[in-house]
Structure 1
Amino acid sequence: MAEKSRPPHNRGAMLWDHSSGPTRLLISSFDRWTSAILADDGVDMPLMGSTTPVEAKIVSRTEGTLAGCAAVDHMLQIWAGGVSISWAFGDGRRLVLVMKSPV
């Protein structure tokens, strides 16, 4: 019997590795995407030290499927390396993410 081949439109394995997460191809896409989004808002340099601690909480307005955590993690690592993040999501929870700046 012939080996099953993947449909030509299934490129998931090119983007995500089950053991290590996003592939280089997906990470380069994250970089282009986040750079474009931040440039639209006039951000062209990473966040540098702040003297005032800041905390932000992201809360969902409605139920839904959360996607893009790896992209957000990567964006914050590059553009706001000192910011700590804590994902807090799950069934029945509206709080999605807590971000804290370095003190």
Structure 2
Amino acid sequence: RPFPQDSADHKIHLFENAGYTGRKMEIVDDDVPSLWAHGFQDRVASVKALNGTWVGYEYPGYRGRQHVFEKGEYRHWNEWDANQPLIQSVRRVRDQQWHQRGCFENS
């Protein structure tokens, strides 16, 4: 299904524990191939997607199971149908994909 596009800055908060507690990581307008490299452990148990649509991946480098976070609050990891609170990379869903060789637009 198509995802709604948001022209505002992308912003997401990742929390270590359910109920928006524990360590928090804020990501604004950036893709993060490894949360670990930014000092955040692999445990993400709750999420607030404040702007835009995001995809969280089970492993670094955008690999493994994918979890879509549309704008909204996800108090517990079972709300995004995960088997465990494990997210190690995230990226934004954008309406255009930019590449070194040019812009490729969705058709």
- Which interval holds the TM-score relative to the shorter structure? under 0.3
Compare the two structures and name the one with the higher strand fraction: 2
Compare the two structures and name the one with the higher helix fraction: 1
Largest Rg, 1 or 2: 1
TM-score (norm 1): 0.25
TM-score (norm 2): 0.25
